[in-house]
Amino acid sequence: MTIIPFHDRDGHIWFDGALVPWREAQVHVLTHGLHYASCVFEGERIYNGVIFKSHEHSLRLRRSAELMGFDIPYSAEEIDAAKREVCKAAGLRDGYLRPVAWRGSEMMGVAAQANKIHLAVACWEWPSYFTPEARMKGISLEIARWRRPAPDTAPTEAKAAGLYMICTISKHEAERNGRQDALMLDYRGYVAEATGANFFMVKDGVIHTPIPDCFLDGLTRRTIIDLAKRRGYSVVERHFTLDEVKDASEIFLTGSAAEVTPVSRIGDWTFTPGDVCRTMIADYSDLVHGRLNTAAAA
């Protein structure tokens, strides 16, 4: 498979207020965001030319920046407009969108109060991870050795670049071991999330999902909870350990990139994706493609 590197593509990126040629959207090697992870971002899907939950993502981007101690010099509405502009320029009907904000290179050191805050938005074609048939086979997870940090040790409510360091390490280790992803526990030993998606399990017809008190409360997570309740499922948000997971009848992950992805294996335990997974996949697909009343996922 030919890999097209992200720095060498055709098209345009919205960069600090204007569309610039893709290859010219550059930052200096001494930018603070690279050295000290003073960077926040969003991952969003585009369906039929519409950015799903665009404004909620823009609000969360600004909130993440506030938690990191800086202010993005654009309102949520201006960020929404920038996203629409870059999608229009790309002529993209379906794909993925990445807004990112970071501290620049005016000062180099832990303190960087005078650094300019930059904002860029890029989009590209990125189909769903799996076809519906392949998705229902489920993916395989291993248990990560790294844990999500406590909320008094990191800004865990932010979608911040630095918080993904242990996710990359964990996912790479899982892939080297023949798995697709890793399941991360939190600092207390409770089940938390996968490396880039929230976690759900089904037991006795009830859907359970961890309380997001030290990891991101995903917008897709909230959407699935709303869709499940609309279907009449009971959804319980609570803390639970791995011991409870082994007895689950179904496991699935949710996220903007992952959408709804069933899990067939965690460590040595196996699971069979079934009716709940199939229903959530279908309802989510109907919602994002405009076939379901959006009030269900307000």
The 3-state DSSP composition of the chain as helix, strand, coil percent (nearest 5) reads 30, 30, 40
Judge contact between 255 and 197, C-beta under 8 A. Answer: yes
Q: Under a CB-based contact definition with an 8 Å cutoff, are residues 106 and 116 in contact?
A: yes
Burial class (CB in 10 A: 0-12, 13-18, 19+), 152: exposed
Q: Is 229 among the catalytic positions?
A: no
Strands 95-103 and 44-47: antiparallel
What secondary structure letter does DSSP report for 295?
G
Q: Could you give the 3-state DSSP secondary structure of residue 116?
A: coil
Q: How far lies 101's CA from each of 61, 151, 247, 260, in Å?
A: 8, 22, 42, 27
Among 88, 116, 137, 159, the active-site one is 159
Tell the burial category of 235 from Cβ atoms under 10 Å away from its Cβ (0-12, 13-18, 19+).
Answer: middle
16: alpha, beta or left, given left = phi > 0 and alpha = psi -120 to 50?
left
Residues involved in catalysis: 159
